[in-house]
Amino acid sequence: MSLAQNIARVQQQIAEQAQACGRNPNDVTLVAVSKFQDVAHIEEAYACGLRDFGESYTQEWKVKAQQLAHLPDIRWHLIGHLQKNKVKDLNDRLFCLQSLDSLALAIEIEKKARFAKKLPVLVQLQIDPNDANKSGIPYADASALCDFVCSSQNLELHGFMGIGPLDKPHELKTLYERFFAEGNTLWQQRQRSMQTNKCVFSLGMSEDMSTAIACGSTMVRVGRAIFGERRRAH
Ligand SMILES: *Cc1c(COP(=O)(O)O)cnc(C)c1O
């Protein structure tokens, strides 16, 4: 299968699942996860019409963003855990930080980063309370983090991100429903201070895309179903 065929197939799956759930397919954004893919493949996906790309590692993202600077309307999303000592690598080329997962990280960005305008962020919520390895802030701590972002000079809250425990397929739906319930509550409590009334819910990867869309996802992050298996493991 060619890259173009993979993209068309994923877009069709998204559209069909959205329609099957009575949702507007345009309400689900496809982010192509390009970690470990070379820039030639990213350019090819861009030529197919994709604009949103997700990277996990700041170093790798920075190099690629520099190499692809001639694509002015490309939208880069950072989706991997960001260590505090990497905050200095953030710059205006970033469209959205999806993995804001602690108050300490938000405070560091507030102190160290300098952006031309506020950086859109998603607060990454810990979906599986029994698996702290999957990064994300516990629901109980998310409120304070959202408050900090809403009063920040550098950050702007755009919604929530989650990584599902793919090894627990039978629990996904229940865990995802909780993710949307908690996210919606956090969002509505701050609605008045928000620039936008649309809350982004970034949830779903190659394997759980359909479940995520059925539960309400507005943004899926798809790597392997578009680019094939990654050459390097992470
Ligand atoms: C790698 C990654 C993805 C994409 O996963 P695939 O299984 O390749 O679709 C999505 N989200 C995050 C946070 C990732 O690290």
Segment 96-108 shows an average pLDDT of 98
Segment 118-142 shows an average pLDDT of 91
Give 232's pLDDT tier (boundaries 50, 70, 90): low
Structure tokens at 211: 């479940």
Residue 134 has pLDDT above 70, yes or no: no
Segment 179-196 shows an average pLDDT of 89
Instruction: Identify the residue whose C-alpha is closest to ligand 1 atom 7.
Output: 206
d(CA 160, CA 55): 17
d(CA 190, CA 178): 19
Q: pLDDT tens, 71-98?
A: 989 999 999 999 999 999 999 999 999 9
Q: Please report the atom of ligand 1 found closest to the CA of residue 161.
A: 13
Instruction: Identify the residue whose C-alpha is closest to ligand 1 atom 4.
Output: 223
Beta strand 52-55 pairing with 29-33 = parallel
Q: What is the pLDDT of residue 192?
A: 77
What is the 193 CA–ligand 1 centroid distance (Å)?
Answer: 31
CA distances to 44, 68, 181, 189, 232 from 38, rounded to whole Å, are: 10, 11, 38, 42, 12
Instruction: Identify the residue whose C-alpha is closest to ligand 1 atom 12.
Output: 79
Give 135's pLDDT tier (boundaries 50, 70, 90): confident
Q: Please report the atom of ligand 1 found closest to the CA of residue 33.
A: 4
What is the 220 CA–ligand 1 centroid distance (Å)?
Answer: 9
Q: Are 171 and 214 in contact (CB under 8 A)?
A: no
Averaged confidence pLDDT in the chain: 95
Q: Please report the atom of ligand 1 found closest to the CA of residue 206.
A: 9
Q: pLDDT tens, 16-75?
A: 999 999 999 999 999 999 999 999 999 999 999 999 999 999 999 999 999 999 998 999
* Cα dihedral across residues 138, 162, 64, 225: positive or negative: positive
d(CA 16, CA 113): 41
Q: What is the pLDDT of residue 233?
A: 53
Q: What is the pLDDT of residue 142?
A: 98
- Pocket around ligand 1: residues whose beta carbon is below 6 Å from it? 33, 35, 56, 79-80, 163, 205-207, 221-225
Residue 230 has pLDDT above 90, yes or no: no
d(CA 95, CA 204): 19
